Amino acid sequence: MPSGKRTAAVFGLLLLALAAFAYTSTRASQKNKQTVAAPAPQNQPPTITLDSDTQIVTICPDAESISNTRVRLKATGVSPEGKPLRYRWDVSGGRLEGEGTDVVWDLSGAQPGVYNAAVTAESGPVDNPLCTAFTSTKVVVRTCPPPRPVCPNITMSCPDVQQAGAPITFTASMSGGTPGVSPVYNWKVTAGTILSGQGTQTITVDTAGLAGQPIGATVEVAGYNLECRASCQSSVPAPPNPTKFDEIGEIQRDDEKARLDVFAIELQNSPGAQGYVIAYGSRNKRFGTGQQRGERAKDYLTRTRGIDASRVVVVDGGQRPTGTMELWIVPPGASPPRPR
């Protein structure tokens, strides 16, 4: 092929290639223009989430639990179009405080059960919102469990018994324990008889015949669903024994008076005690009968030594080979001596 024709052919091919590239570029440009120019969708719905600071509310009768009945709710709404959102709240019980995205749900006074809180986010006109989103949460309301029973502190008061045979009193004092309980008292004693007070905080116990014995008292306090009790013990003193102070035989009258003087001093130093004179007469009757000798000693003690006559008791002991006079000190509660 001549060189001129070859040049023309190459040039023609180049023109065709340029024309094809230009056509392809134009089509791609038109396609890109169509993609950019496509309008965005209108009135896209917002998204919304709802957070609650608690899911369980416990209502107790004490004042300290009131704050636990308030639930904080927070709504988070997002509009894809960036439009401002309004929030509408609705609850199935209790009261709402506040508005907008953050509110407080007050459930004080609500009965036990499950309650629902719902929030709606909307945009557009108030009377004709264009887009809305809705979500909700639940809260369980329950009452406080019953308080754990607690025994009260029980303090026992046991008497210091001074005299055998006299009634004694036991007392129980209480503090603390489960509130609202009406206690019931049940007493038990190890000896003696409960004269009065069963079912109350104080009892009186008869101690007749219990001289020298211990008496234990236990109070059981019912009503707490627990074994609540306290105990203590008192001792009844044994009766004192009479003391033989002196024994005077057949001696001179002045010597006898001197011995009676010492006996009188002992009686004066023993308030409440009695003096017993047990006199025995002799067979030769030199000093008289026992009764005569005893009365003579009492007369000396009361008239000369000033002892109250009611404190001196004369007992005729009968006769012995030799006249004798026993002088006894008998404290309160002691059994008087007898002739032997």
Same domain, 64 and 107: yes
| Res 65: pLDDT | 46
Q: Are residues 92 and 115 in the same domain?
A: yes
b/e per residue, 14-28, with b = 16+ CB within 10 A? eeeeeeeeeeeeeee
> Is 146 strand, coil or helix?
coil
Question: Are 115 and 190 members of one domain?
Answer: no
With respect to residue 6, please indicate whether it lies within any of the assigned structural domains.
no
Higher pLDDT, 286 or 67: 286
Specify if 225 maps to a domain.
yes
Q: Lowest-pLDDT range, 24-33, 104-113, 175-184, 294-303? A: 24-33
Phi-psi label, residue 190: left if phi above 0, alpha if psi -120 to 50, beta otherwise: alpha
pLDDT digits (tens, 9 = 90+) for 231-285: 999 988 887 889 999 999 999 999 999 999 999 999 999 998 999 999 999 877 7
192 CB-contact burial (10 Å; exposed 0-12 / middle 13-18 / buried 19+): buried
CATH at 218: 2.60.40.10
Mean pLDDT of 41-65: 81
pLDDT-based confidence at 37, cuts 50/70/90? very low
Q: How many domains does the chain have?
A: 3
pLDDT reading at 19 higher than 70:
no
Range of the domain at 201: 153-235
Q: Is residue 314 part of a domain?
A: yes
Band of pLDDT at residue 24, cut at 50, 70 and 90: low
pTM of the model: 0.47
Q: What is the CATH number of the domain that holds 289?
A: 3.30.1330.60
Spatial contact of 233 and 214, defined as CB atoms under 8 Å apart: yes
Distance, in Å, from the CA atom of 105 to the CA atom of 305, rounded to the nearest integer, reads: 97
| Residue that terminates a domain, selected from 235, 259, 279 | 235
Q: How far apart are the first and last CA of the chain?
A: 184
Check if the beta carbon of residue 316 is closer than 8 Å to that of residue 289: yes
| Spatial separation of the C-alpha atoms in residues 106 and 57, rounded to whole Å | 10
- Residue where a domain terminates, one of 143, 170, 202: 143
Confidence tier at 215 by pLDDT (50, 70, 90): very high
Residue ranges in 106-252 assigned as alpha helix (H): none
Which is more confidently placed, 129 or 231? 231
31 occurs within a structural domain: no
